[in-house]
Structure 1
Amino acid sequence: MGLDSFMNKTYSIVNLLSLALGNETAAKRQIILSSDNEKFTIPVTPRSYEIKTAQNNETIDILDFGEAMLFGNAKLKRLSFSGFFPHPKHDYPFIVGDVKTPIECVELLTKWKEAKKPIRVIITDSPVNLMMGLREFTYREQDGTRDIYYKLSFIEYKELNTPSANNDKQIDETTGLKQRTDEPENPESWVDKADDILDASKKVYGDYSHWRNIVQSNDLKNLAINNVTKLNLRKNLK
């Protein structure tokens, strides 16, 4: 009997004893994975899991002082655990999750990994409730039991929400780049509604600081625009 098989069987006995003694919470802890509209509860809860957190701190060497630390932002969390997918023929009494064949479990996790979509990972009765990406999935058979032993590792997923990522402007055929999100739709629409260059800058760009761009792009001599029939407001902002 292999070490993993021995430890899993020992863990199963402990779970059964815990249940017999009334400690149902420990026996029924579950790991629940979900992606899109699918949910998968790990059939046998692993003995342990590991969360790794880190901070992107840096150390610098200052003259006549020595080393100093600069605090950085938190790195993405890492989660890992291992266990086995039991074959239904064994009829183990410690199943707490979905009743699937080991092959079905492997196929589902492989599909989720290759779909390149985040997976919600929840470990009941624990602080783990994270949106994550499946980073590594390894599995093997041993002992001729038809059970499949696996190792899973996840990395935290954070959705990017930046103006450039959400820019739905058309791509310029010449440059191959999307139009700037801060450019006005109609470069002439504010001419008759602005009192002067400062007013035009405020109304078009949201503040007064871009008035120089308007002056430079239109070769204006002063801030008055009474004698200007149209303005070029598409100069890249500095």
Structure 2
Amino acid sequence: MASFSNFFSQVVDSLINSGSGLNVGCKLVLSCAGDSVTFPISPPSFEVSNTYNNGTINVNSLGDINMLGKRGLATIKFSSFFPAQAYDGIVNTTPDSPYSYVQKIKSFAEKGQPCKLAISNTNINLNVTIDSFDYSEKDGTSDVYFSISLREYRYVLPNSNKLNNTTGLASRVAEEQKEKVINWYPGMDLMDVAAQSVGQFFPIEEQDAKQLSIFKTLVKTKNLNVGSILHVTKQSIKIDDKTKINF
């Protein structure tokens, strides 16, 4: 067993420290509805895919021409494992049960709410949905190997003032949410808080400007920390029911 552990440590160290891998000390956190999973073993690499929905049309006098589209949703994929025992230099303490991680990720996928993925030392900090989560045991060690695929989640509020081209009537949309409660949990930053604050209260074309304005205001707020509870409306944010920030 010792020889296997030494070999395994060398293999994982090689993967993590390779040029294509994540930075040493990189931490991945997947959170949902106030709960979170910190992956115990950083994957040797991750893959981000961005699409831009460009198209091609044919014009009789010109032939094919490109048409620029709007950006699609980013997808993120990575693979690693949940260890069932300590490995020297990788997991030095007895880890949680591999299947406790599995059950928590499955519960996130089934909550009906978007998650948040944060990868330290990178620019990855996104609202996401879990598209797929596959896991298996391979080598008799009880370690659980997994692959996960995540897709960016974008908050969108339809603009109900626009008229339908066919009927001439305003679109019927669900009644706007009067108040949203945001729990600032580990892995979020102030820009995430600002994004969630505007996501369900403003049409998408107004969100960027509103988000930046709220972010600048939050930066100046002294008693806002991880663990704070924010009560957000379209006009203001109340922090732990004490400090009130008007938009």
Q: How far 1:11 moved relative to its partner? A: 4.2
Please report how far the alpha carbon of residue 116 of structure 1 lies from its aligned counterpart in structure 2 after TM superposition: 2.0
Q: Match of 1:154, as an amino acid?
A: L
In 1, are the aligned partners of 2:9 and 2:87 still within 8 Å (CA)? no
> In structure 1, the residue corresponding to 2:150 is in which secondary structure?
strand
The alignment-based identity, stated in percent, is 25
- Residue 64 of structure 1 corresponds to which residue in structure 2? 61
Query: In the alignment, is the contact (CA less than 8 A) between 1:45 and 1:96 conserved in 2?
Result: no
Aligned residue pairs, count? 157
Query: What's the secondary structure of 2:110's corresponding residue?
Result: helix
1:104 is matched with which residue? 100
Partner Cα separation in structure 2 for residue 142 and residue 66 of structure 1: 54
* Structure 1 pair 116–9 and aligned structure 2 pair: CA distance change class (3 A): farther
Deviation at residue 72 of structure 1 after TM alignment: 0.8
Q: Equivalent residue for 1:167?
A: 175
User: How much does 1:96 deviate?
Assistant: 9.4
Taking a change above 3 Å as real, the CA distance of residues 63 and 11 of structure 1, as seen in their structure-2 partners, is same
Per the alignment, in what secondary structure is the counterpart of residue 134 of structure 1? strand
125 and 100 in structure 1: CA distance in 2 versus 1, 3 angstrom threshold: same
Q: Which residue matches 1:180?
A: none
- Check conservation: 1:15, 1:27, Cα contact below 8 A: no
| 2:113 pairs with 1:117 | yes
* C-alpha deviation, 1:95, in angstroms: 3.5
Residue 152 of structure 1 corresponds to: 148
Higher relative helix content: 1
SS at match of 2:106: helix
Give the structure with the higher percent strand. Answer: 2
Q: Does 1:46 align with 2:54?
A: no
Given candidates 52, 55, 74, the residue that maps to 1:55 is 52
Query: Structure 1 stretches of 5 or more lacking a match?
Result: 19-24, 169-238
Moved more, 40-49 or 114-123: 114-123
Per-residue CA deviation, residues 162-200 of structure 1 (Å, 9 max, x unaligned), is 2344436xxxxxxxxxxxxxxxxxxxxxxxxxxxxxxxx
> What is aligned with 2:196?
none
Residues 83 and 167 of structure 1: is their aligned pair in 2 closer, same or farther, counting only changes over 3 Å? same
Q: Which has the larger radius of gyration?
A: 1
Q: What is the RMSD computed on CA atoms of the aligned residues?
A: 3.0
Verify: 1:26 aligned to 2:23, yes or no.
Answer: yes
* 1:73 paired residue among 70, 91, 95: 70
Q: Secondary structure at the match of 1:29?
A: coil
Unaligned runs of 5+ in 2: 161-171, 177-247
Q: What is the TM-score when the length of structure 1 is the normalising length? A: 0.59
TM-score scaled by length of structure 2: 0.57
